[in-house]
Structure 1
Amino acid sequence: PAYEKMVEELGEYFRESGIGIRESGESLLDMLRAPAQASPYSLEGQLEFIIKKWGGILGEEFVQKLLRGMDFVREDAIRHRGPVEFKPTAEVPTYFGYPEYERYSLDKEWMPRLVLIAKNAYVWLDQLSKKYQRDISTLDQVPDEELDTLAKRGFTGLWLIGLWERSRASQKMKQRMGQQDAVASAYSLRSYDIADDLGGWGALENLRWRAWQRGIRLSADMVPNHMGIDSNWVIEHPDWFLSVDQPPYPSYTFNSEDLSEDSRAGIILEDHYYDHSDASVVFKRFDRNTGDVRYIYHGNDGTSFPWNDTAQLNYLKAEVREAVIQTILHVARNFPIIRFDAAMTLAKKHIQRLWFPEPGAGGAIPSRAERGISRSEFEAAMPEEFWREVVDRVAAEVPDTLLLAEAFWLMEGYFVRTLGMHRVYNSAFMHMLRDEDNAKYRMAIKNTLEFDARILQRYVNFMNNPDEKTAVEQFGNGDKYFGVCVLLSTLPGLPMFGHGQVEGFHEKYGMEYRRAKWDETADEGFVRYHERIISPLLHRRRVFAGVDNFMLYDLFTPEGGVDENVFAYSNRFENERGLVIYHNRFADTRGWIRMSAAYLENGQLTQKSLADGLGLPSDGYVIFRDGITYLEYIRSCRKVREQGMYVELGAYKCHTFLDFRFVDGSEWRMVNEALNGTGVVSVQGKWDEMFGVKEEVKSEVAEEESVKRKTKKAATKKAAAKKTVVKKPTTKKVAVKKSAEKKSATKKKAVKKIGK
């Protein structure tokens, strides 16, 4: 009360005396109190208020100091807030004023049709041991039957997580924290050599050869942001890592055990790591021979505590960038598919934001604000985007390699369109469809179609990834799961399936797991339905992978509105067509699908009707099969063109219409009228039932095959006829032949004579 009274009396004094009164009517005391009144509970907010209100008169130098002050406040909060679970949000991409240039990488023929499945290497081998009742602990012991199963299910890429030689220090850390059965993290690496306990390079070569016999390419991780804290690089090239000569905070102590097994250098973690009372952003490395001591930063993406079993590489050094590129080329020579972990952290703007922030842009990683540099200094040290250089070097030296980036932070389009990555993670697929933000996801697709549809083809769509809960945990194991899985299998882009997704497993496997902790067996009914509904679609990825003929449609309800919960789209490849319709909501709906969403073509936004999207003729009838119910339908091409297609959908119901073929004539008109939109096992069977005479209805593909067979048969007959014709040699040829025989006989006599 006394303080409040004093402040009140001071205010009255300044106002009455006129001291410090400005044109605005504020006194000196009012000005001094204004920041606290504007943001009473935030020091950062008060500094921001000062900059906005008086920055123009304080001068640039003073404002820079205030901005750094804001950075320090944010850093201090991060140090002591404790570990947090980072939940990335999925945003709708917008492309208004898109500043980046266009420089896509060319796809090889196999890339658009790739279907990837992830396997945590150690966990998978342990599961296979139980499944086949024998020891399977190395890559060369993976049974042929298992590879056959993967191929049968439609997978053409196998992403093996955790193949590389891992940090021994990482394993010690996890065991000290209570995980006695843990191996090191798959992303804390000692070197890019296949782990000895997985069989080494020889075992990999064996698996690679057998997988390729079945059309399966192998994929591996590359972790470019950091290395393990006891990696060969930390021991041999400590100057390649971000470090300081003194601990960044005076409270840091390093009294725990030495985690290094190398005689050249020791590794000690900061003590607060073990009780999580501080971010512990650095570890201590000391040279056993020279006594050199430095404090190296842990790898970090600024979203939570650092990855304390890793060491952060310094990308401002050209020699570091070259060393990483050489490692990437080494991986590319052994794996045709490379997944780059946390690739967005190495985009130039994020390297500076995280590690060398400009004033006011810091706060992501404690203690880095005071080591920030200007934009011009940063550009001088790193003039080009690292990823653009990687893409160009791989294209030149190991061209048949697909580069896949795990990138978030709204950088997906930039990574494929400008930096040239072949594929990039599309986390919006999982988040929005799981949460049924259907309007947002449809808008995301529409925005992309209106800007550049090719970005859709470059997405990696997934229902879970190693950092998220499993697919069945997020989507269940019923109609919603299979409906979203149909979208995963039929939208443009690369479908990526998680470890255990097809089996219906619920456990999320940590990167340090040696084996699964839950005793789960495959849900056989779930697996069978997967093989019945999803696998046939994966085998037809050629129909759905591209974007040249991809069309997204609105479903208009009888009330005239658009049902944003319905995903309807068509695609084509050569003479094959596909139409997918899925309702991602627990409700019933019905309506007409007729006109596509706008898409960019030759610089103009345009639309197509459903009939044009499917390439239907003007007249006649179209027959198609539903891959979900296995029923066939017949529709009038003219009515589809004029009215569109009417559908009714229950909760999470789906249709996958395939095997389109065309018929015409009065009898087919009568079949269409008799069925009146109803599905039957066989439309041809209905024709037979009505008219009693079988008329073969051939699909366009079947007709092509028939022509090929006839052509081949005719060619075979012609070749056989040629073989039976014996031409009589000409007189000249006979004379030459007799002359040759005479010379041969003379030569033989000479040989005999010499022999005697």
Structure 2
Amino acid sequence: MIEPRYPSLFEINTRVWLYRLSREAGKPITLADVDDATLDDLARRGFDWIWLLSVWRTGAASRAVSRGNPAWQAEFRSVLPDLTQDDICGSGFAISAYEVDEALGGKAALAVFRARLAERGLRLMLDFVPNHTALDHPWTKTRPDFYLQGSEQALAAQPENYCRVDTDHGQRILAYGRDPNFPGWPDALQLNYANPALQEAQMAELATIAEQCDGVRCDMAMLALPDVFLRTWGVTPEPFWPKAIAAVREAHRDFTFLAEAYWDLEWELQQQGFDYCYDKRLYDRLRHADAGAIRAHLGAGLDYQDRLARFLENHDEPRAASVFPWPRHRAAAIVTFLAPGLRFFHQGQLEGAQVRVPMHLRRAPTEAHKADIAAFYDRLLAALRTSDALRKGAWSLIPPQSAWAGNPTWQDFISYAWQSLDGGRYVVVVNYSDHQGQCRLRLPFDGLACLEVRLTDVMGSEVHLRDGSDLLDPGLYIDLGAWRYNVFRLDPAGS
């Protein structure tokens, strides 16, 4: 299967999805039972990857913590006022075994689902959680040395970060899983990457997962980096990712690794073998509405940008429709999904959902679809699906120029050029501000001089004829209102 240079990924919360499909069908629906029309629609929208979130088994002990934690209960009830205990299935990242949950159909159902995706040209991504396990993972009994050990003093001083665990080797004090900036997660235990045997065991787990999918999204991947582990736990492990990724690729040459990554560690993780890393920096700058900072971020080399996963929301972030007011939401989406890299969409985003569903729940609230948001994403996905230039072409940042002396609004623009080998050309321009603005764009395309060029906005209704020489110098004149944009396809006027 040949993947485009800039693929699209769609994240699905599997337990929430199948629960809804089951209620609509009036009977249990497993992964093997998802109807053809649903899968056909995923392919029709132009996705290349389906990431099934939370397919692995969650243990009873961690689920009990989810059902009993008062702070979590308050969050759950804010999402589901009619919450029941059955709605709380435990965090999909508190994994007791890398075995497909029987409620989802088990391993056989996942294999059927994957084969049906492949028939439609879609690849399957699953989770790997390197940092921690559920409280009742078998290793907690048989291999407590795989976990970070605590002491009576540590437990007394930091009860939020340690707990007592009964093991086959006697009672131990073990650390809860955590990152260095927050208290521990009380439904998970921290793995010890300073133990070489643990690293070997985790590589074996990855090998098992890799037999069942085409790629993995690695939760909090930076926590296993030696420097981060040292800062968190005071011990320095040997690097894990380079050898683990190499081992999987030896058996599955085209296997893909996506890292959840923060703290500006994306480049380091890319160098250790990850195909893609979350681009949280772009997301944050879009939320802060700083066009200059966004342009600076997009000025990085394509060796870095091509391997970033661009998103406006995911299961950890607030819903885009709740934090990006309309029409700013549209402007942010144009900047994000028409930049180079992996285009990362989230279940519910395309319909304008506003409520983020916690990872511990199997049910989402019922929300009305937003027709304007759905129509926008339908058009954006159609543009991505039908244009070789936007999926496979050469991208460059266009520096906006002042439209006239003394007009500073050019600084509010973000603009790109796309060009494919077959001659397809696009110009993307966004006024990422809350006021009217003007600029000029000197287009970086050869062969425009002495031509009359038609500019057709594939995300709107505008059509313009322009002299090709003028598009080169002084450049295409742009005048856009607050948060407005154009995605122009350029064609010879006579074509």
- Give me the TM-score of the superposition, normalised by structure 1: 0.61
Equivalent residue for 1:35? none
Report the equivalent of 1:392: 246
Measured after TM superposition, the shift of residue 463 of structure 1 is: 0.5
Aligned counterpart, 2:188 = 310
Determine if contact 2:142/2:167 at 8 Å carries over to the other structure.
Answer: no
CA deviation after TM superposition for structure 1 residue 540, in Å: 4.2
Equivalent residue number for residue 11 of structure 2 = 118
Aligned to 1:87: none
1:397 aligned partner, one-letter code: A
CA contact (8 A) 1:284 1:296 kept: yes
2:79 aligns to what?
none
CA–CA distance in structure 1, aligned partners of residues 147 and 156 of structure 2: 23
1:128-147 pair list within 5 angstroms? 128-130=21-23, 132-147=24-39
Q: CA deviation at 1:410?
A: 1.1
Among 373, 383, 389, the residue aligned to 1:526: 373
Spell out, residue by residue over 1:671-728, the C-alpha distance to the aligned partner (whole angstroms, 9 max, x if none). Answer: xxxxxxxxxxxxxxxxxxxxxxxxxx44xxxxxxxxxxxxxxxxxxxxxxxxxxxxxx
1:588 aligned to which of 413, 436, 439: 436
Q: What residue in structure 2 maps to residue 468 of structure 1? A: 317
Question: Counterpart of 1:661 in structure 2: which amino acid?
Answer: D
Structure-2 residue corresponding to 1:151: 43
Listed as ranges, the gaps of 5+ residues in structure 2 are 74-84
**What is residue 474 of structure 2 aligned with on the other side?**
643
Which whole-Å CA distance do the structure 2 matches of 1:408 and 1:470 have between them? 19
Paired position in structure 1 for 2:382: 536
For residues 648-667 of structure 1, the aligned pairs below 5 Å read 648-658=479-489, 660-663=490-493
2:146 pairs, out of 217, 223, 240, with: 240
> In 2 relative to 1, CA 134–144 (structure 1 residues): closer, same or farther, beyond 3 Å?
farther
Higher helix share: 1
Conserved? CA contact 2:155–2:161, under 8 Å: no
SS of the equivalent of 1:283 reads: strand
Structure 1 letter corresponding to 2:162: V
Deviation at 1:250, TM superposition (A): 6.8
Deviations 1:23-48 (A, max 9, x none): xxxxxxxxxxxxxxxxxxxxxxxxxx
1:615 shift after superposition: 3.0
Q: Which has the higher strand share?
A: 2
- Mapped to 2, the partners of 1:238 and 1:213 lie a distance apart of 43
Shift of 1:520: 1.3
Between the aligned partners of 1:657 and 1:331, the Cα distance in structure 2 is: 43
Cα displacement (A) at 1:156: 1.9
CA apart distance, 1:279: 4.5
Contact 1:429 1:463 in 2 (8 A): no
CA contact (8 A) 2:6 2:343 kept: no
Residue 136 to residue 563, structure 1, CA distance change in 2 (3 Å):
farther
Q: Distance in 2 between matches of 1:174 and 1:620?
A: 65
Distance in 1 separating the partners of 2:185 and 2:317: 17
Correspondence 1:512 to 2:385: no
What's 1:220 paired with?
126
Query: Structure 1 residue 553 and structure 2 residue 399: aligned?
Result: yes
Question: 1:413 touches 1:455 (CA, 8 Å); kept in 2?
Answer: yes
Distance change (3 Å), C-alpha of 1:391 and 1:540: farther
- Kindly report which structure 2 residues correspond to 1:209-358, keeping only aligned pairs within 5 A, or say none: 209-244=115-150, 246-249=151-154, 251=156, 279-287=159-167, 292-356=170-234
Q: Is the 8 A contact 1:551 1:571 kept in 2?
A: no
Aligned partners of 1:592 and 1:646 also within 8 Å: yes
Asked if structure 2 preserves the Cα contact closer than 8 Å seen for 1:502 and 1:530, the reply is yes
The structure having more radius of gyration, on CA atoms, is 1
CA shift for structure 1 position 190: 0.5
- Higher relative contact order, structure no. (Cα contacts within 8 Å, ≥ 6 residues apart): 2
Q: Distance in 2 between matches of 1:243 and 1:547?
A: 51
C-alpha displacement of 1:487: 2.1
Deviation at 1:525, TM superposition (A): 4.0
Deviations 1:295-324 (A, max 9, x none): 111111011110111111111121111111
Matched AA of 1:588: Q
Hey, what does 1:166 align to over in structure 2?
A: 58
- Counterpart of 1:580 in 2: which secondary structure? strand
Contact kept, 8 Å, 1:471 with 1:498, in 2: the verdict is: no
Please give the alpha-carbon distance, in whole angstroms, between the structure 2 residues aligned to 1:556 and 1:127. Answer: 51
* Partner SS, residue 435 of structure 2: coil
1:629 to 2:460 alignment: yes
User: Shift in Å at residue 488 of structure 1?
Assistant: 2.3
Letter in 1 for 2:491: R
Q: Alpha carbon RMSD of aligned pairs, Å?
A: 2.1
Contact 2:165 2:172 in 1 (8 A): yes
Letter in 2 for 1:183: C
CA distance in 2, matches of 1:222, 1:445: 29
The normalised TM-score by structure 2 is: 0.91
Does the CA-based 8 Å contact 1:279-1:305 persist in structure 2? no
- How far apart, in 2, do the equivalents of 1:221 and 1:506 lie? 24
Counterpart residue number, 1:423: 276
Answer yes or no: is the 8 Å Cα contact 2:340–2:395 preserved in 1. Answer: no
Q: CA deviation at 1:113?
A: 3.1
- Matching residue of 1:433: 286
The equivalent position to 1:187 in structure 2, one of 77, 93, 117, is 93
SS in 1 for 2:249: helix
One of 555, 563, 567 as aligned partner of 2:410: 563
Show CA shifts across 1:397-420 (max 9, x none): 21111111011111112221x212
Is residue 403 of structure 1 aligned with residue 308 of structure 2? no
CA contact (8 A) 1:489 1:537 kept: no
1:161–1:327 CA distance, 2 compared to 1 (3 A):
same
Identity %: 25
Count of residues paired in the alignment: 479
Contact 1:555 1:568 in 2 (8 A): no
Seen in structure 2, the aligned counterparts of structure 1 residues 558 and 129 have a Cα distance that, compared at 3 Å, is: farther
Superimposed CA distance per residue, residues 485-526 of structure 1 (whole angstroms, 9 cap, x where no aligned partner): 12222110111112200111111011111101x221322343
Give, in whole Å, the separation in 2 of the partners of 1:511 and 1:494: 23
Mapped to 1, the partners of 2:454 and 2:135 lie a distance apart of: 62
